[in-house]
Structure 1
Amino acid sequence: MHNQKIWHEKLYNNLGQYFLIDQLLYENKTPYHEVKIFKNSIMGKIMTIDGVVQTTEKDEFIYHEMLTHVPIFSHESIKKVLIIGGGDGGILREVCRHMNIESITMVEIDLNIISLCKKYFPNHSKNAYNDSRLKLIIDDASIFIKNTKKKFDLIISDSTDPIGCGKKLFSLEFYSNCKKRLVKNGIFVSQNGVFFLQKKEILLTYKKLKKYFYDVQFYQAHVPTYYGGTMLFCWGTDHKAWRKINFKDLKLKIKNKQLYFNYYNAKIHMNSFNLPQYILNTLDKS
């Protein structure tokens, strides 16, 4: 063990998680990111971008199921989906499981991430890139969303943290453009980090989204890979009823689709919007 290298996450200055690198599989700089992929005996293969853990083989299903199925099952009829980022293919894999969805547009800035994840994380996408409903666009999503004329029922922003080229995907302009590209009563969701350590960023998102959406909330999941406790996903829509879905109706929806999950279920869906009091206290004051 003393010959193994230790990798330390750089997201927070004064604390963070460490991983033992059992085997380094890839390390290089793309035009946009510094990427490292390595094996760890507990979490399997891990991909880091710019010194921050992005995904692991072991627990990716929690993040990808929650960011995808909460909005899809909340809405009555999602037909057109836009995925922003998500180069590892996990969100795409989960979206593709819904056969009633007619078109999926995915905008990823870095083709290298897609290629690397197809090679090192094939189970993330499970051949979803071959789905005939997919239109893959390699572009800066902030530019795409500004210029496109297409409208979507659901926009899922699966971006890196608000650092580097991911910063634009947390801006007022980006949220405004996302709102414009949603159909009436469409839903916008995004990963928003760990509240306990990224409170400032989450509060900024909350204030910005409230300018454009009638119903702005956060829902939660516990993803072991993301250090610091409760991970939040932001939720923006003008239709409050989507969040107030009836439990029996939701259970029936899931049953009728004959989809099976490792984390997501009807009770998790309903309860994920029930946040710890310290988070509610902070949001109430903002």
Structure 2
Amino acid sequence: MHSLGRHILVEFFGCSSEILNDVPYIENSMRRAAQEAGATLISSVFHHFSPFGVSGVVVIQESHLAIHTWPEYRYAAVDLFTCGHAVNPWVSYNILKQAFQADHGSAIELNRGALELLEKSEVDLGELRDQVTQKLVEPKFSRSVWFTDRDENIALSIRHKGDRVFREKSPYQTVEIFDTYAYGKMLTVDNVVMCTEKDENAYHEMIVHVPMLLNPDIRRVLVIGGGDGGSVREILRHPQVEAVTMVEIDEVVVRASRQYLPSLSHALDDPKLNLIIGDGIRFMQAAASEAYDLIVIDSSDPVGPSEGLFSPSFYEQAHRCLKPGGVMTAQSESPRFNHAAFVDLVQCLRSIFGRDYVHCYLAFIPTYPTGMWSFTYSSKGGADPIRGFDRKRAAAFAAQENLQYYNADIHPAAFCLPTFVKNMLNG
């Protein structure tokens, strides 16, 4: 041995762009590369880098393996540093080159701490050394792997347990489920949080019970989207409902939710539900006029398969399909995170339903970027969401159903918009 450690500086070129943006895959590959090289793992910390890419480090008893990726260039820079010569960093190099599907790689090995340049001194720790030696235990490996939902300027990161519970790429999007430490199972689509077990009640209770507790005669309901099943679960708490039709474009979302999110999806097997795997836009175009008392637009962000759910033509069809006095609620994005989409949708609905029949309201969902999320209540000449509100009925229902977010005080308060939101909508 001629040095204290070996340090390999690595560059991988022509890698898979998808892999280089995949935090769990990279973290698993880096851990495997360390283990198969003979290292003892201490901890790992990995997260998405803004706007994309992955940064992370695996700390080993013999030093570390670190990485930063640039998916847009199909390039990864890796740092392999091992103390002593019991661990072979070139084993790690070969594993990672294959894992990242690199066309080629280059590396420079440096000997760190050349012994001929060093003078070893005797250090006598005496009794302290003996006490520490008696307390030595095998290190316990810890993982810190993060999922990040972000745009160009804002990001929300949530720590999860490292390995995906579910991942499948459908014809429309990539559907994943992670097991998070703070929020339980989390469903994501194309790296955007859809819902978590811990805070999904805020979203689903507010999009459903606000309209339903204003009209006790709602019997026929249409849900567009909502493949996790949370909205259907809330709708079917109301015994007067006779039939629910749900149109979800992606079968994979439904299947993943049924398997891993039973607290949300259990109502998907209710006999009152007609579940259709199909395009909600086409379904609405073909649906009969004045067929529904309530339409719930439980869509994801206005990209990919949900983009058409934010168009004037879609909401004109929704208006046509509502019975007189009927109501539509839609998730309408975050006033802070998706400012333009939020304003455009509310203005679009005002032009179709009439300004006096469109009302924006808010809920607070910690795992959605900024925490503030909006819904829009639009009626076809139906009840005003404040003047038509029966507080006593709402309070009794919320208590009976043990609701976790909605209550008789939240209902009117949700329509009290901050000044900056009012200015957005009235500007």
> Is the TM-score greater than 0.5?
yes
- Report the counterpart of residue 426 of structure 2 in structure 1: 284
- Report the counterpart of residue 252 of structure 1 in structure 2: 393
Letter in 2 for 1:284: N
How far residue 240 of structure 1 moved from its aligned partner, in angstroms, is 5.8
How far residue 40 of structure 1 moved from its aligned partner, in angstroms, is 1.1
Which 4+ runs in 1 deviate beyond 6 A?
A: none
Q: Given the alignment of the two structures, is residue 183 of structure 1 paired with residue 323 of structure 2, yes or no? A: yes
Q: Note the aligned Cα RMSD (angstroms).
A: 1.6
TM-superposition CA deviations, 1:31-69 (whole Å, max 9, x none): 111112111111111111011011111101111100110
Is the CA contact (8 Å cut-off) linking 1:75 and 1:242 kept in structure 2? no
Is the CA contact (8 Å cut-off) linking 1:196 and 1:229 kept in structure 2? no
Q: Given the alignment of the two structures, is residue 81 of structure 1 paired with residue 81 of structure 2, yes or no? A: no
Bigger shift: residues 1-10 or 27-36:
1-10
Residues in 2 aligned to 1:256 and 1:175: alpha-carbon distance in whole angstroms? 30
2:311 to 165, 168, 171: 171
- Report the counterpart of residue 148 of structure 1 in structure 2: 287
Letter in 2 for 1:181: C
How far residue 260 of structure 1 moved from its aligned partner, in angstroms, is 2.5
Residues in 1 aligned to 2:288 and 2:248: alpha-carbon distance in whole angstroms? 18
Residues in 2 aligned to 1:92 and 1:240: alpha-carbon distance in whole angstroms? 22
For the residue of structure 2 that corresponds to 1:243, the secondary structure is coil
2:249 to 83, 105, 109: 109
How far residue 254 of structure 1 moved from its aligned partner, in angstroms, is 4.4
How far residue 242 of structure 1 moved from its aligned partner, in angstroms, is 3.0
Residues in 2 aligned to 1:15 and 1:252: alpha-carbon distance in whole angstroms? 40
Residues in 2 aligned to 1:143 and 1:240: alpha-carbon distance in whole angstroms? 26
1:238 to 363, 380, 393: 380
Letter in 2 for 1:120: Y
Residues in 2 aligned to 1:164 and 1:145: alpha-carbon distance in whole angstroms? 18
Residues in 2 aligned to 1:95 and 1:254: alpha-carbon distance in whole angstroms? 17
Residues in 2 aligned to 1:204 and 1:253: alpha-carbon distance in whole angstroms? 31
Output the TM-score relative to the length of structure 2: 0.64
Residues in 1 aligned to 2:213 and 2:359: alpha-carbon distance in whole angstroms? 16
Residues in 2 aligned to 1:244 and 1:47: alpha-carbon distance in whole angstroms? 33
Identity of aligned residues (%): 35
Output the TM-score relative to the length of structure 1: 0.94
- Report the counterpart of residue 404 of structure 2 in structure 1: 262
Q: Given the alignment of the two structures, is residue 34 of structure 1 paired with residue 174 of structure 2, yes or no? A: yes
Going from structure 1 to structure 2, the CA distance change for 1:256 and 1:170 (only over 3 Å counts) comes to: closer
Q: Which has the higher contact order (CA 8 A, sep 6+)?
A: 1
For the residue of structure 1 that corresponds to 2:351, the secondary structure is coil
Is the CA contact (8 Å cut-off) linking 1:73 and 1:254 kept in structure 2? no
How far residue 193 of structure 1 moved from its aligned partner, in angstroms, is 1.4
Residues in 2 aligned to 1:143 and 1:246: alpha-carbon distance in whole angstroms? 33
- Ranges in structure 2 where 5+ consecutive residues have no aligned partner: 1-42, 45-142
The number of aligned residues is 282
Larger-Rg structure: 2
- Report the counterpart of residue 218 of structure 1 in structure 2: 360
TM-superposition CA deviations, 1:197-250 (whole Å, max 9, x none): 211101110121112113111111101111114210011113363313455x33
Going from structure 1 to structure 2, the CA distance change for 1:256 and 1:233 (only over 3 Å counts) comes to: closer
Is the CA contact (8 Å cut-off) linking 1:81 and 1:154 kept in structure 2? yes
